Structures are given as C-alpha cells and as structure tokens.
Structure 1
Amino acid sequence: MRSRKGVAKGISSWRISAPPCHSGKPMNLTVHIGTTKTGSSSIQKFLSNNRDILRDRGILVPSSLGRVIHLNAVLSALPFGKSPDLAQTIPLTDAEQHAAFRENTSAAFREEIAGAPGCQEVVITAEQLHSRLPLPDYIQTFRDLFCRDFSTIRIVIYVRPQLDQIISLYSTMLRGGYAHSLGDFIKSRMQPIFRPYFDLRDVITRWADVFGRENVIVRPYKGVARDFGTLGDFCELLKLDLGEEGWQLDKQQVNASINVAGQELLLMLNKTGALDAVQRRKVAKWAEAHCTGRGAMPPLAQAQAFQSQFDEGNAWVTETFFPDHPEYLEPRWPEA
C-alpha cells in the first residue's frame, strides 16, 4: 500500500440556517462528485447493493435521488434545458414541470432523511456533479436543495492526470455510440468549452467557493492503489471495513477497460449506425468480458499538447493537497 502522506483528510463543519429535516440529532453529509473515470461506478454499485446494510450501520444512501447514481439531484440543480441527454430519463417538457420535479425531489429527500432517525451520515454520489455543474450558480442550487441542514459536510473528489482520464473516457464514449478515433476525440476536447471538465483546479475551486476549501476532500486516484482501489478508500472515509463479512461485493470489474481490438470493434459498429442502444450495450458487455486490457494511445505529441494545458493548475493541486507526491498527477505517457 502506498503512503498517502499529504492527502487532505481534514473536515470542519459548515452550516446553513434552515429547519432541520430530521429529529434534531447531528447528521453529517458526504457528497462524492467523481471525477469521471476514477472508480465512481464501483462506489455507486457498492452503495446501492448494500443500502440496507449501510442503513443498519447508520449510513443513509437515499433512493429518492436515484437508485444507483443520484441523477435526480444533478437534474434538480440544473436549469431547465441543460444536459438534455440526462433529462431524457425523466419526461420534463417545460420549465414548469422541471420546477415541480425539483421541488418534489428536494421534498422526497428531506422526507427520506426524516424517516431515518437512526442514521448519522447521508451519502450523495454522482460523477455528473463534477461533469454537469460547470458554474458556481448550479452548485449553489445543489447546496440549497440538498445540503441545508447538516452538522458537517464534506465534498469528496478523486483526481487523476487528465491524459489518463481522457484515454479511459474514450472507451466510455465508444460504449455510448461515439464513432470517431481517439485522436479526433482528444482534438475535440481541447476546445475551450471543455476546459471546466478537465481543469482540476477549476473544479476544486468551484466547489470550495460554495462549501469552503476546508470541506473539500481531494483524494489522488493514483495514490489509492490497494485492495478495492477507490472503493476501499471511500469506504475508509466512511469508517467501513470491506474485509468484514456480509458485504455484497461485485467480483466483476465495473466499466472494465477495453483493449484496442475491442475499441476497434465498437468503433466499426458505431460508424455503421446499425446498432440501437440495447444492442450496443450488449456488444460493449461482450467487449468488457472478452477484450479487457489497455486501449488505444494517442501520439506522444498530441498527448503532450493536451496535458500541457493543465500543467499550471495541476501544480497548484499537487502543492495544495499532496506536495510530497507529484507523481499522483503525472500521466502515463505513450511511447514516442
């Protein structure tokens, strides 16, 4: 197990004056915002599979915000019309319906907490909180809807080098029907509009400006290489021991890496447009099972050009949160 010296662990309280939605007993909130491609799916699947066990241990994973991923909280924080791909899961056709959805989601969340008086911790998790809330106003809306009445709040974010992230993200895009090469994908994501997605300093600062920097817990994805990886590290934050019996743990890796051959298969099929969403998911599952491994890598020059955009911000992240471990944000470079 690697040393995690320098990783921020502290947490202090942050309060908003509002009527409590529980019995008055102090309750804490942990908000896991990703980032994407840092093991979020494993965390979410574990929390969903063990919801009842966790509640018996005093930890509430609210189903009112979503069964596995808490997308209802994300959609509630966004203005109507933003992220229409997420909104497709809910039939919201106008701003009035969206406002009602927002109010009903917040009310259901508060009611669920009120019905769990034995719980001391609430956990919200959605990597879309990182990817779909690029403006402080959206984060403030999320705070006002779901974070009003807790004794302490901590925002947990896992970080990894942007080059590693985008290479891993490419397989996810192929699973969703993307029909262009890795090189084209990286080139498209170098546009300024995507900078808030990849800029770690910007993401951390956005959430720190709303919740206080002392309440933002930054964990290095590369620095949690241990049994269960990111999941084990997150459970440690919740004071859970995965070595104990009784947990429902998935033996199959969630969102397993797809090797070059599997990526080329998905790319070829996506270009034909012959598969519908259900068929594509079946092919992706087959590729995950039979084509696991290292995927495509970009040319070194393109990799360096992409990563260099974030050098200054990454230096700030490293110095602020893990100054003894600059390797945590050092990417895996392709061969020249």
Structure 2
Amino acid sequence: WQAALSAEIKAQTCSHVVMSSEHLQSRLHEPEAIRALSDYLQDRFSDIRVILYIRDPLDTIVSLYSTAVKSGSRLAELPLSPPDLWANIVNHKATIQRWQANLAPAELRLRLFQKDDFVQGDLLADFISAAELPALDYKRPKRANESLDRLGLEVLRRLNKDIPVILPDGTTNPQRGNIKTVFEAHFNGGAPFLPSAEAVAAYDAAFADSNDWVRETFFPEREYLFTPKTRNMASEDALAPGDLDEMAAFAAALWRRNHKRGTRKKNRT
C-alpha cells in the first residue's frame, strides 16, 4: 500500500493530502511503529499535522461494548477493569505523549468529541475546519456503526449464545447471516444502555488523572475536560432477565427457521 499511495500522491497536483483512520491510534501503540509512520510521512510531505479527537472515556467504553456485542460478544456488563485495547483507546494522556514523542516535528491539534464543541454542532464541519479544508459542497456519508439501544444489546448478547459467530469446530457460523445489520436497523432509537454504578465509578476513577492532565495541558480555560453529565446507572426499570432470556430464545428460533427456509429456497433456485 505504501508504494501505491506514493504513486497516487506523485500523480496528483493537490497541495494537501488527508488521511483518516481510527486504527492509527489503536494499532500503532509501539513507539517504533509511530516512528516508522513519521519517517514515511516526512519523506513525502513538508508539513505534517495530526488531528486527534478524544471522547469521554465512559462514553467510549459503552460504544466499544456495543460494538463487541454486535460482533458476537456475550459480555453481560462492562468489565470493571477494561481490556488492554479499550484502556489504550481511552487513556488520552498516554496517547498524546506517545504520539508527540515519536511523530515530531508534526503539529498536534486536539479536538473534543462532543457536540457542544463541534463547529456548527457537526463533527464533519468540525473536521473540515480543523484540517483547514476548503469550503466545498462535500458529499456526506450516512451514519454508520450506531450503538444499539439497551433492549437491542440485552437481546443480542443472549442470542449470541444460541447463534455464535464461531462454531465449536472453529468455522464461521453461516446462520449468523446479516443479524448485525438487522439489529442495527431495529434497535437504535430506544433507551440507551446504562452501565452499573460500579462500572461508572471504576471508569471515572481509572481515567481521572489522564483527563486532568489533558485539561491542564491543552484546555486550561475549561473547568472540566468533558461536559459534566448525570451518570444514569442501570436501574430497576430494566426488563426482567427471565423475560429477556425468553425473548432471545424466541428470536433465535425464528432466525434459525427463516435462515433454514432461505437456504432451501436458494438451493432450489
């Protein structure tokens, strides 16, 4: 890909190149990997700027939990100690220091991922402004990878037990089909998933020092790094676990039956 990208850059007459990927942060977590990227960029560009969006750690963890369930996880609750991948993503102090130390002399532009701080209240408008891109009539993509609401998460994580992504023999389960797409389409507007009080306290405490360092270093004029919000925790208004188990079992039975019917029809065709 490096050779292909270099050829594309040479073939263009543009003065600016924009590269965007959330995996730069989550995959390049070793200093030598970031330095390798720095060497590649410095060989091709005279001015390098890094735009980094950081989000409230607990909000990020809830989003990651939703993605995990959509991918087949059976986790019933947020783990009180985050997996290494999750901890890396939300430890903003460590991310900033790692990239500043290994991508010099690139300029770091830090942005807060919360609507009240976006230019025009819009993420893409904010990025266009931060990247100093021209005011064009950009084609905007549809929203993607939306978090599931509470009911969708509760049902899907149970269904993941009956229709797992990976079968016991290590092969991909063909019965999964487009189940992720179906849940995303039907479970995105209800009450949000609410973590337990223990999880809220654990994550707020775990990343308090990181958030305070970022605020003092980059946003000293702010009283808080992220806009304070009431931490609504899981409460008694949640559906009974037994009812959810029955709902998931029913959904699994319907899904298997429809998938089997669709397979037979496809074979006949």
**Residues 213, 204 of structure 1: alpha-carbon distance in 2 compared, 3 angstrom cutoff:** farther
**Residues 233, 274 of structure 1: alpha-carbon distance in 2 compared, 3 angstrom cutoff:** same
Corresponding residue number in structure 2 for 1:258: 148
Say whether residues 1:108 and 2:4 are aligned partners: yes
Instruction: Decide whether the 8 Å contact of 1:224 with 1:230 is kept in 2.
Output: no
Say whether residues 1:220 and 2:112 are aligned partners: yes
Aligned pairs (5 A) from 1:118-157: 118-157=13-52
In structure 2, C-alpha distance between the alignment counterparts of 1:277 and 1:218, rounded to whole Å: 42
User: For 1:124, what is the secondary structure of its paired residue?
Assistant: coil
In structure 2, C-alpha distance between the alignment counterparts of 1:235 and 1:299, rounded to whole Å: 37
Following TM superposition, by how much is the alpha carbon of 1:194 offset from its aligned partner in structure 2, in angstroms?
A: 5.2
Q: Encode CA deviations 1:62-112: one digit per residue, 9 max, x unaligned.
A: xxxxxxxxxxxxxxxxxxxxxxxxxxxxxxxxxxxxxxxxxxx22222111
Following TM superposition, by how much is the alpha carbon of 1:178 offset from its aligned partner in structure 2, in angstroms?
A: 1.1
Structure of greater relative contact order (alpha carbons < 8 Å, 6+ residues apart) = 1
Corresponding residue number in structure 1 for 2:123: 230
Say whether residues 1:311 and 2:198 are aligned partners: no
Residue identity matched to 2:146 = A
Partner of residue 80 from structure 2, selected from 175, 178, 187: 187
User: For 2:194, what is the secondary structure of its paired residue?
Assistant: coil
Following TM superposition, by how much is the alpha carbon of 1:123 offset from its aligned partner in structure 2, in angstroms?
A: 1.3
In structure 1, C-alpha distance between the alignment counterparts of 2:49 and 2:120, rounded to whole Å: 24
Aligned pairs (5 A) from 1:162-177: 162-177=57-72
Q: Could you tell me the TM-score, scaled by structure 2's length?
A: 0.73
Say which structure is richer in helix: 2
Instruction: Decide whether the 8 Å contact of 1:154 with 1:215 is kept in 2.
Output: yes
User: For 2:80, what is the secondary structure of its paired residue?
Assistant: helix
Following TM superposition, by how much is the alpha carbon of 1:134 offset from its aligned partner in structure 2, in angstroms?
A: 1.6
**Residues 112, 122 of structure 1: alpha-carbon distance in 2 compared, 3 angstrom cutoff:** same
Following TM superposition, by how much is the alpha carbon of 1:167 offset from its aligned partner in structure 2, in angstroms?
A: 0.7
In structure 2, C-alpha distance between the alignment counterparts of 1:123 and 1:179, rounded to whole Å: 37
Say whether residues 1:325 and 2:222 are aligned partners: yes
**Residues 169, 274 of structure 1: alpha-carbon distance in 2 compared, 3 angstrom cutoff:** closer
Corresponding residue number in structure 1 for 2:184: 288
Following TM superposition, by how much is the alpha carbon of 1:237 offset from its aligned partner in structure 2, in angstroms?
A: 2.5
In structure 2, C-alpha distance between the alignment counterparts of 1:193 and 1:249, rounded to whole Å: 29
Residue identity matched to 1:249 = R
Q: CA RMSD in A?
A: 2.7
Residue identity matched to 1:166 = I
Residue identity matched to 2:88 = P
Instruction: Decide whether the 8 Å contact of 2:92 with 2:211 is kept in 1.
Output: yes
Corresponding residue number in structure 2 for 1:92: none
**Residues 132, 214 of structure 1: alpha-carbon distance in 2 compared, 3 angstrom cutoff:** closer
Provide the aligned length of Structure 1 versus Structure 2. Answer: 225
**Residues 110, 213 of structure 1: alpha-carbon distance in 2 compared, 3 angstrom cutoff:** closer
Corresponding residue number in structure 2 for 1:200: 92
Unaligned runs of 5+ in 2: 166-171, 236-269
Say whether residues 1:209 and 2:106 are aligned partners: no
Partner of residue 140 from structure 2, selected from 249, 259, 268: 249
In structure 2, C-alpha distance between the alignment counterparts of 1:279 and 1:227, rounded to whole Å: 44
Following TM superposition, by how much is the alpha carbon of 1:161 offset from its aligned partner in structure 2, in angstroms?
A: 1.3
Aligned pairs (5 A) from 1:66-105: 105=1
Unaligned runs of 5+ in 1: 1-104
Q: Could you tell me the TM-score, scaled by structure 1's length?
A: 0.60
Say whether residues 1:178 and 2:73 are aligned partners: yes
Q: Encode CA deviations 1:168-198: one digit per residue, 9 max, x unaligned.
A: 1111111211111123xx3351x56754332
User: For 1:261, what is the secondary structure of its paired residue?
Assistant: helix
Larger Rg: 2
